[in-house]
Amino acid sequence: DGGITQSPKYLFRKEGQNVTLSCEQNLNHDAMYWYRQDPGQGLRLIYYSQIVNDFQKGDIAEGYSVSREKKESFPLTVTSAQKNPTAFYLCASSLQGAGGNTIYFGEGSWLTVV
């Protein structure tokens, strides 16, 4: 089946640790995105990539890093510099990065700091 796969579903991070969330898509989409979701708030854009080997900061990029070495993969690293990382993280993709293209979401990853 075509879609977006995020892993792991649940992840626990100790203080001072970096963790990486995986996102893979087999939709042959050029554009990929990472959003963060907190209770009572809308989705906020962390990073996006319109094409392989290129990515841009979104609205809340501090404390996060990404890479886009392959078209189908867009991993997100939550670094120790992110002071409040506990949240629900959503990976998404669209055929192109241009406006008006439908954005499809993965099932999300829960990150908790312990």
Q: Which tokens sit at 86?
A: 């506990």
Cβ of residue 13: shortest distance to other proteins, in angstroms?
19
> How far apart are the C-alpha atoms of 93 and 89, rounded to whole Å?
14
What are the C-alpha distances in Å from 90 to residues 16, 70?
22, 19
> Which residue is it, tokens 């499809």?
104
In whole angstroms, give the CA distance from residue 11 to residue 8: 6
Nearer to other proteins, 16 or 40 (CB): 40
**Between 44 and 80, CB nearer to other proteins:** 44
Q: Which amino acid is at 13?
A: R
Minimum distance, C-beta of residue 16 to other proteins, in the bound complex (Å): 28
Least Å distance, CB 32 to other proteins, is 11
Q: Which residues bind other proteins (CB under 8 A)?
A: 4, 31, 40-45, 48, 50, 56, 58, 90, 92, 94, 96-108
- Residue closer to other proteins by CB (options 79, 110) is 110
